Amino acid sequence: MRFKLERRETVSGLGLVAAPVIAVLATLLIGTAMFLVLGLDPLAAFRIYFIDPLTDPYTLQELVVKACPLLLIGLGLVFCYRANRWNIGAEGQYVAGAVLGSIVAIATNGGEGGWWILPAMLAMGAIGGALWGLVPAFLRVRFGASEILTSLMLVYVAQLGLDYLVRGPWRDPAGFNFPKSVSFDPAATVPLLMEDGRMHAGILIAIVVVIVAAFVLGRTLVGFSIELGGSAPRAAAFAGFDERRVTYGVFAVSGALAGLAGIIEVAGPIGNLQPSISPGYGFTAIIAAVLGRLNPFGVVLSSLVLALTYIGGEAAQISLKMPFDVTRVFQGTMLIAILAADVLVRYRVRRVEAPARDAAKVTAHA
């Protein structure tokens, strides 16, 4: 006996609304069971996870700070995934952007500063990410290499490059050999928006990008060519859209946004280059993009939800003394529930009576 997923011909509107509700209910149910087994108060856990971070001005800012890189990278991935190009290496593009952008900060460190430093850093960051993203695009177009593999492998190349730089040429001369660059000057730092907290101007850039991305994808010929190239490549070819140009284009945009996220993070919350500059944002952003249904506004929502689960998880460790692994299991439960509900609305599970081979035999006998 086998099971098969079949695409539903019509997706009911009710189902689309009900899916997230069912997902949340399932999460709460499984979560309650898990917390009860561990001897934790489920109500307190849910309050700390989902309510408290949203009611404190400090954690609200933190939520946005944590969501910012996910949002920027996720938006870029929307371009790729809509075009059916599977960029898995946003983490590497993030690092490449951070490195290239930091050249400006490190070269001007201790100097007189100037208004141009930060914009130059951001531009270099975007270029760095885009160049790193264009490598798998080139390999795909020129040699037909799978961009899934090449983009992923380039992540490690970028990370090790960063590692080399902060331990070697860019090491802080006053830092006792510790692997970290000089702390960036104020002129090379993303300004904060509030006096108390870490919310920075990178958020404003992200908001602009959301609007531009929504416009380009929804209202322009470029957006249409990406969409068509992804869903019906042959039709796109007949319509005269150049498949190679789409590949280069979406990888460049996706890489640039990841690179921008990288340099904003380094010039913002971190303040210097160091061996680890991302807790896996480039990979988490893949979830953000898919969870947001490849829609720029959806990605805003999914990035915030993901950020909430991280911050809630930390808060639960602090105030409930919940073990780290439990917070991660709970986060995973929620993501699976959301994705499962999403699949079940769009597809139906059908039992296939007998394996295909036997079925053929039966027909032959008949």
Stretch that binds another protein, among 33-41, 76-84, 312-320, 346-354 (CB under 8 A): 312-320
3 forms beta bridges with 351
Enter the tokens of residue 338: 């959301």
What count of Cα atoms within 13 Å lies in the side-chain half-sphere of residue 91?
22
Q: Kindly state the smallest distance separating residue 275's Cβ from another protein, in Å.
A: 8
Nearer to another protein, 128 or 179 (CB): 179
3-state secondary structure 197-220: CCCECHHHHHHHHHHHHHHHHHHC
Using alpha carbons, select from 87, 84, 74, 68 the residue that is nearest to residue 264: 68
Give me the 199-228 binding string for another protein, x by CB under 8 A, dash otherwise: ------------------------------
Backbone angles phi, psi at 112, to 5 degrees: -85, -10
Q: DSSP 3-state assignment of 47?
A: helix
Tokens at residue 309, please?
Answer: 């689960």
Residue 285 CB, nearest approach to another protein (Å): 15
Site string for another protein, 316-345 (x = CB under 8 A): -xxx-x-xx---------------------
Q: Nearest approach, Cβ of 273 to another protein (angstroms)?
A: 11
Which of residues 166 and 226 has its CB atom nearest to another protein in the complex? 166
Residues that contact another protein, how many (by CB under 8 A) = 38
Residue among 35 and 170 whose Cβ is closer to another protein: 170
Angstrom distance (rounded) from CA 118 to CA 246 = 30
Binders of another protein among residues 2 to 41 (CB under 8 A) are none
Is the C-alpha dihedral spanning 244, 249, 252, 254 positive or negative? negative
Q: Which of 269, 292, 296, 312 binds another protein (CB under 8 A)?
A: 269
Q: Based on CB atoms, which residue is closest to another protein, 254 or 272?
A: 272
Start-end of H helices in 38-116: 42-46, 52-55, 57-82, 90-107
Nearer residue to another protein within complex by CB, 178 or 215 = 178
From residue 154 to residue 183, the character string flagging contacts with another protein as x (rule: CB under 8 A) and all else as - is ---------x---xx--x----xxxx---x
Helices 117-143 and 90-107 cross at an angle (nearest 10°) of 140
Q: Which is nearer to another protein, 147 or 265 (CB)?
A: 265
Tokens coding 235: 């039709």
45 close to 34: Cβ distance less than 8 angstroms: no
Contact residue for another protein among 75, 205, 210, 311 (CB under 8 A): 311
62 binds another protein (CB under 8 A): yes
Six-digit token string for 276: 């680890």
Residue 73 CB, nearest approach to another protein (Å): 14
Closest to 205 in 3D by CA, of 276, 306, 118:
118
- Smallest distance from another protein to CB 318, Å: 5
Binding mask 83-122 for another protein (x = CB under 8 A): ----------------------------------------
Torsion of CA 122, 88, 280, 32, to 10 degrees: 130
Question: What is the contact surface with another protein in residues (CB under 8 A)?
Answer: 58-59, 62, 65-66, 163, 167-168, 171, 176-179, 183, 195-196, 198, 265, 269-272, 274-279, 310-311, 314-315, 317-319, 321, 323-324
